[in-house]
Amino acid sequence: MKMKKIPASSLTQREPLLDNILRPKNLSEFIGQQKIKERLRLIINGAKKRKEPIDHILFVGPPGVGKTTLAFILAEEQKVSIKAVSAPSLQKTGDLVALLTNAPENGIIFIDEIHRLSSSLEEILYSAMEDRSISFIAGKGPGARVLNFKLPPFTLVGATTRPALLSNPLRDRFGFIASLDFYSHEEMVEIIKRSQKLLGIELSEDGVHEVAKRSRGVPRIANRLLKRIRDYIEVEEMEIIDKEEVKKILDLMGIDDKGLDDLDRKILFTLRDKFSGGPVGIKTLAAVLNESPETIEVVYEPYLLRIGFIQRTPRGRIITPLGLSHLMRCSNG
């Protein structure tokens, strides 16, 4: 396989196109999360028999593990339409009412980041989900009226990285809550092998394992690394790319052998050098790093906790001996 040189500008333009190519389109293309896939198949088949839309489903899990992908797969598997919105785009009652009353018959309404819905909009959803009706007050003062609407049969699919922020009544109205976890090394290897084919590149077996090692169990990160490797291959006109090349490219990108990036390491260095290893509260840590506490908590912390580099204590975060020895290696390297 020999690839042509292409101008750097076209690399960024085709990014959304590549994302679309990489996204699994049906359940059998979706790798891992076996139990969840089985359950979804059951739900889809049951609903098909009863000729009803499937139960409302909530996907929970860290960023980049396939929540949005599964929502679209649900529509594809049933051959129904899907309308996708992000909760922050629903500001007023009217926004949500318009979305619900225009629900595709037997189709899916997908609300991403559903934890960011305001409580008044959450309340409208309760009855919409429970008995497919909505009632709300239109207008103000003496002219105010209660309006009732019946909705077509539909399925609400929600996705969230922060399930604890959802109210209990909303959570209870989902028929199935699917918690997606980080992927195992073997699953990441399978995902990377699938993606490299779709991207038209070829990594050696140990090259694939190296990318898996540095992708922190998140398919989106693996795909991002592969796209950068692809850019590199195209510019350098290389054929098969082996472990040493992968290491070189990812080191260049600042991704170390544990999959940590610059901000991960900055978190660890800050804990060690500015707070004598901790404990330090998440807000203080975020302020020092000039990041939002949410980014630290949702995007960075779960992985650092998982690999045992930091710990949560009642008084805040601390760096562990494992985290400290990783920093020693970084500063020596």
Ligand X SMILES: Nc1ncnc2c1ncn2[C@@H]1O[C@H](COP(=O)(O)OP(=O)(O)OP(=O)(O)O)[C@@H](O)[C@H]1O
Contacts to ligand X by CB under 6 A: 19, 22-24, 30-32, 61, 63-69, 159, 161, 191, 219-220, 223
Q: What is the smallest separation between the CB atom of 80 and ligand X, expressed in angstroms?
A: 19
Q: Are 159 and 110 in contact (CB under 8 A)?
A: yes
Q: Could you list the beta-strand ranges (E) of 122-227.
A: 133-138, 145-150, 155-160, 176-179
Instruction: Quote the tokens at residue 82.
Output: 């899907």
Q: How far apart are CA 100 and CA 121, in angstroms?
A: 11
Residue closer to ligand X, measured from CB, 270 or 295: 295
Residue closer to ligand X, measured from CB, 160 or 320: 160
Q: How far apart are CA 164 and CA 107, in angstroms?
A: 27
Residue closer to ligand X, measured from CB, 73 or 96: 73
Q: What is the smallest separation between the CB atom of 74 and ligand X, expressed in angstroms?
A: 12
Residue 64 among known ligand-binding residues: yes
Residue 248 among known ligand-binding residues: no
User: Which of ligand X, Mg ion, none has residue 121 at its interface (CB below 5 to 8 Å by kind)?
Assistant: none
Query: In this structure, are strands 316-319 and 155-160 parallel, antiparallel, or unpaired?
Result: unpaired
User: Which of ligand X, Mg ion, none has residue 19 at its interface (CB below 5 to 8 Å by kind)?
Assistant: ligand X
Q: Could you list the beta-strand ranges (E) of the chain.
A: 57-60, 82-86, 108-112, 133-138, 145-150, 155-160, 176-179, 310-313, 316-319
User: Which of ligand X, Mg ion, none has residue 31 at its interface (CB below 5 to 8 Å by kind)?
Assistant: ligand X
Q: What is the smallest separation between the CB atom of 149 and ligand X, expressed in angstroms?
A: 30
Name 124's Cβ contacts closer than 8 Å, sequence gap at least 6: 93, 96, 97, 100, 134, 136
Q: What angle do CA 294, 298, 300 make, to 5 degrees?
A: 105
Q: How far apart are CA 223 and CA 225, in angstroms?
A: 5
Q: Is 295 exposed, middle or buried (0-12, 13-18, 19+ CB in 10 A)?
A: middle
Q: What is the smallest separation between the CB atom of 193 and ligand X, expressed in angstroms?
A: 10
Residue 317 among known ligand-binding residues: yes
User: Which of ligand X, Mg ion, none has residue 154 at its interface (CB below 5 to 8 Å by kind)?
Assistant: none
Residue 147 among known ligand-binding residues: no
Residue 68 among known ligand-binding residues: yes
Residue 254 among known ligand-binding residues: no
Q: What is the smallest separation between the CB atom of 111 and ligand X, expressed in angstroms?
A: 12
Q: Are 57 and 176 in contact (CB under 8 A)?
A: yes
Residue closer to Mg ion, measured from CB, 113 or 256: 113
Stretch of residues binding Mg ion (CB under 5 A), selected from 65-73, 103-111, 131-139, 272-280: 65-73
DSSP letter (8 states) at residue 195? H
Residues marked active site are found at 67-68, 112, 161, 220
Residue choice 3, 18, 68, 163 for contact with Mg ion (CB under 5 A): 68
* Residue 85 near Mg ion by CB under 5 A: no
* Binding site per annotation, positions for ATP: 22-23, 64, 67-69, 173, 183, 220
Q: Which positions lie near Mg ion, rule CB under 5 A?
A: 67-68
In the annotated binding site for Mg(2+), the residues are 68
**Binding site per annotation, positions for DNA:** 312, 317
